[in-house]
Amino acid sequence: MVTVWDAETCKDVAKFDHQMDHSFRGLEIEWQNSKRVAMAGMSKKIYLWDTDAPERPSQVWSGHEEIVDQITWDSTGSMLASCSKDSFYCIWKPEKSTPVQKTPVQTFDKERTYINTIRWNCNPKMGHSQDPLLASGCQDGFIMLWNVNQGKLVQALNAHDQE
């Protein structure tokens, strides 16, 4: 069970019960806004919860084959990126999702190497395009930059070659 507390009143606001998924064991929590929170865990699923309706998740996303290591919202809160040691980056869009969705809106494959971290471009006006960029750090030492709207790799940087 995950409890959300009001920091000013020290009272619980909502409790999210993952009893329907006994293998959940939360590893990542990422707020979309002041009411909705995404949670990922060992069950390979991502849950989107709403503090106004905490009885069950509003959406459940399951597209990874391994434990979801990291989740992060873009600056607008309209896209959630996730990564896993299954070598996939997934993009989820709540407004385009069914309550239980098994395939992400978009996936990027890093040719079977572990993905350690993902980050959105904080300044979408930087660079040649206004499209959102997703950067990822991979186990093999590469940093990958993806254009999310176009669904293509913009650049692959080998961190080991940058001396």
Across the 163 residues of the chain, what is the mean pLDDT of every consecutive 10-residue run? 86 79 74 92 88 90 88 93 87 82 73 82 64 88 88 84 55
Burial (0-12, 13-18, 19+ Cβ within 10 Å), 89: buried
Among 57, 60, 119, residue whose Cα is nearest residue 89? 119
CATH number of 2-161: 2.130.10.10
Pair 82, 68: CB distance under 8 Å: yes
pLDDT for residue 23: 65
pLDDT for residue 131: 84
Q: Would the CA dihedral through 82, 61, 106, 122 be positive or negative?
A: negative
Q: What is the rounded CA–CA span in Å between residue 20 and residue 152? A: 36
pLDDT for residue 20: 63
pLDDT for residue 96: 78
pLDDT for residue 10: 92
3-state secondary structure of 160: helix
pLDDT for residue 79: 93
Beta strands 133-138 and 142-147 are antiparallel
